[in-house]
Structure 1
């Protein structure tokens, strides 16, 4: 990696460790006891998410006088992910919602929601899975909007949106019925014309507040419009959207290394015959983290070479998550196959990192097309 091979101390500024330290404390004291329940869907950790927001976990990447820096947000997510991959995903949802509001040119919206989102007083998510696929020709946009006085009327349905509840918000995009482009907006889950429908059980991470969302002629006022047209806005926020996901991957990889280290005493004499060892993943994690932190300094970079690096990094991070979790399972052997052991949870979480939008196959297509 050459010049990218920086230590965590070198790449993080002084404010970051203080936030990450508080996040670590909350993750160990409050989140760890809930991880199994979040995984099986019996717990949605709203109060823990608000606690993370109160110590700055959701606000560090808000642009200041133009520039934005994602490093502390990513490190905080990684710390959360070391304890619970599902909560790291919800952290990404919340951070992305903050990213949308912070970058909107709708100043009334930014003033109304900026602090509420970044402090965790108001929770929410991102409904860009379908739009991100549509922009690359994989799916058609599922929401349609009709211009009316003071806003738009929106209809359609999104199959999966996460980190939601009856008082939550999320950002998403509709296609104008008059063929005049696309519009990005904030959806208010308390609107009676919006219906949240619980999804069928997932392989993992059922406590992430994931719902199907139905829009039945929802009036979206101008005050909730993030960007009109949406395309230039998406180009501005896309690198941050993807880079923030690296926090999920780093957290999962770190704990998979921890799992392998934990079984080294009783099983090291036989695990040494496995081709992938903890040292390999420590080197890989350090490399991924260093590259992530360099890219995270400059999320508004418009150069195509930078964009390709972001895509390639995200692809490697997803594949490394699966590889590390696979190795952790093999190192644990039968004990990792128990439902009570977190190694099998890590394997299921790692597959999610690899398939959440943009998924491995979409990233490969994006690289091929860029």
Structure 2
């Protein structure tokens, strides 16, 4: 069953007006997070007693999907923020939650999920890129994060998985914008999604106290938070697919009625994939078996590609005109980004093949 969130009318109006400029970077990224937070979207699915609006992770996904219908770049920011919230909620370290959760929920500080590398590490796809060396009660971090979204220049916290130099389980920690030795690059020159505060981080002898550890055993903790990480990520695909299918349905007029059946079929596929994902998230099935979640992520990306293709066919030549086709061109670029979101579709498919070969 599809789950939807109705965004405030003023936010929908603003996003609709700036979506193309957000994509190209003409609108400052600094304007986006405060608007999303003031609309309460970061609080969706967060327990009321923790400062949220209640519900569960599905409500968080629905909020991201609703924003993605208007702007994938804005939804990408919300995904980073809301995923960081999930790390705070699921960490055994209550000190971090007490110190950071309120500021993250109200958007005063950005929360960035630098755990894409960690999720690939967990699936056996690549090594960790940061090393931690113990120094008394502190950790000294060295390494890099080549691609992180929501690194708001006004202030951010970013989660990172790190190897221990002296052996032992990998750790999950958080570093902050004002930590000495942490350097944020200029924004990456992306093809689209430009106003998303996406940059690289270099860590050179960054010292943090052990109180900044989310988990002292990444291999055990990450599988528990991976369903939220990937599920919230899937909200972006759901929203973009919905919008493209809605546009295709609106404009498929005379001479294009042949597109009605494939559009209806794709809507049914989207609804089934959503329902299957929500069922697995609520039953906690994906914590012990990530394969179905990987398969859903792959299917949603395929649905997005087919949806924008149907919108193109329904629009006809108008979609290729710079003026009338401006919003479609943005969605086309957004759809091209979906397979690349870490873990990429190629990486997920490779992981699935390895698991099948090992079975």
Q: Residues 1-370 of structure 1: matches in 2 within 5 Å?
A: 6=1, 8=2, 20-21=5-6, 23-62=7-46, 69-166=56-153, 167-264=155-252, 268-273=253-258, 277-299=262-284, 302-304=287-289, 307-340=290-323, 341-370=326-355
Cα distance in 2 for partners of 1:240, 1:278 equals 29
Offset at residue 30 of structure 1 (A): 2.4
Q: Contact 2:64–2:239 (CA<8 Å) still a contact in 1?
A: yes
Offset at residue 74 of structure 1 (A): 0.9
Cα distance in 1 for partners of 2:199, 2:108 equals 21
Distance change in 2, residues 1:296/1:138 (3 Å) = closer
Offset at residue 50 of structure 1 (A): 2.4
Offset at residue 161 of structure 1 (A): 0.5
Cα distance in 2 for partners of 1:151, 1:298 equals 38
Offset at residue 152 of structure 1 (A): 0.6
CA deviation map 1:116-175 (0-9, x unaligned): 212323212111122222223322211111111222111111111001123111111111
Q: Contact 1:68–1:299 (CA<8 Å) still a contact in 2?
A: no
Of stretches 50-59 and 172-181 in structure 1, the one that deviates more from structure 2 is: 50-59
Of stretches 105-114 and 55-64 in structure 1, the one that deviates more from structure 2 is: 55-64
After superposing on structure 2, the runs of 4+ consecutive aligned residues of structure 1 that deviate more than 6 Å are none
Offset at residue 241 of structure 1 (A): 0.8
Of stretches 360-369 and 88-97 in structure 1, the one that deviates more from structure 2 is: 360-369
Cα distance in 2 for partners of 1:179, 1:120 equals 37
Structure 2: tracts of 5 or more residues without a match: none
Report the count of equivalent residues. 349
Cα distance in 2 for partners of 1:249, 1:24 equals 21
Cα distance in 2 for partners of 1:311, 1:68 equals 24
- TM normalised by structure 2 equals 0.89
Offset at residue 80 of structure 1 (A): 0.4
Offset at residue 107 of structure 1 (A): 1.0
Offset at residue 369 of structure 1 (A): 3.6
Structure 1: tracts of 5 or more residues without a match: 1-5
- TM normalised by structure 1 equals 0.87
Q: Contact 2:67–2:239 (CA<8 Å) still a contact in 1?
A: yes
Distance change in 2, residues 1:74/1:156 (3 Å) = same
Distance change in 2, residues 1:140/1:91 (3 Å) = same
Cα distance in 2 for partners of 1:177, 1:79 equals 43
Cα distance in 1 for partners of 2:72, 2:138 equals 38
Distance change in 2, residues 1:238/1:27 (3 Å) = same
Cα distance in 2 for partners of 1:250, 1:111 equals 32
Cα distance in 1 for partners of 2:30, 2:350 equals 36
Distance change in 2, residues 1:302/1:196 (3 Å) = closer
Cα distance in 2 for partners of 1:135, 1:230 equals 9
Q: Contact 1:204–1:349 (CA<8 Å) still a contact in 2?
A: yes
Cα distance in 2 for partners of 1:26, 1:309 equals 37
Distance change in 2, residues 1:271/1:170 (3 Å) = same
Aligned CA-pair RMSD? 2.4
Cα distance in 2 for partners of 1:277, 1:301 equals 30
Cα distance in 2 for partners of 1:137, 1:345 equals 34
Q: Contact 1:70–1:299 (CA<8 Å) still a contact in 2?
A: no
Q: Contact 1:143–1:156 (CA<8 Å) still a contact in 2?
A: yes
Offset at residue 93 of structure 1 (A): 0.8
